[in-house]
Amino acid sequence: MPIDTRGLHQEHIGKRLRLELTGGEVDEIKLLELTICEPPEPCCGITYTLLSANRSDGSKERGGTYWTAFGEIENFRVLGD
């Protein structure tokens, strides 16, 4: 069964992206890695460096490295390199 990567591909690695996540969070990131594994493993997603976020609850720190499942990504837009 193919994994739904929400349109993210290897060529997006190293790019600045604007992610809209489920729950209303919007993050500007630098994409580091796509992780694709065989279902039902829950490891399919992206690893990224957070550049900015619309939430200020302290759950994510700017400059930190985070992982998010593909299923949490509503959509994204490439901002540049």
The pLDDT tens digits for 19-62 are 999 989 999 999 999 998 876 667 899 999 999 999 767 788 99
Whether 64 is covered by a domain: the verdict is yes
Model pLDDT, residue 8: 94
Establish if 78 belongs to a structural domain: no
Query: Domain range for residue 51?
Result: 10-72
**Is residue 65 a part of any domain in this protein?**
yes
CB 54 within 8 A of CB 74: no
Amino acid sitting at position 21: L
Query: Residue 48 falls within a domain, yes or no?
Result: yes
What span, in angstroms and rounded, lies between the C-alpha atoms of 17 and 38? 26
Total-model pTM = 0.88
Domain assignment of residue 2, yes or no: no
Residue 18: inside a domain, yes or no? yes
Rounded to whole angstroms, how far apart are CA atoms 74 and 81?
Answer: 21
Any domain includes 79: no
26 lies in some domain:
yes
Beta bridge partners of 68: 46
Note the pLDDT of residue 1: 61
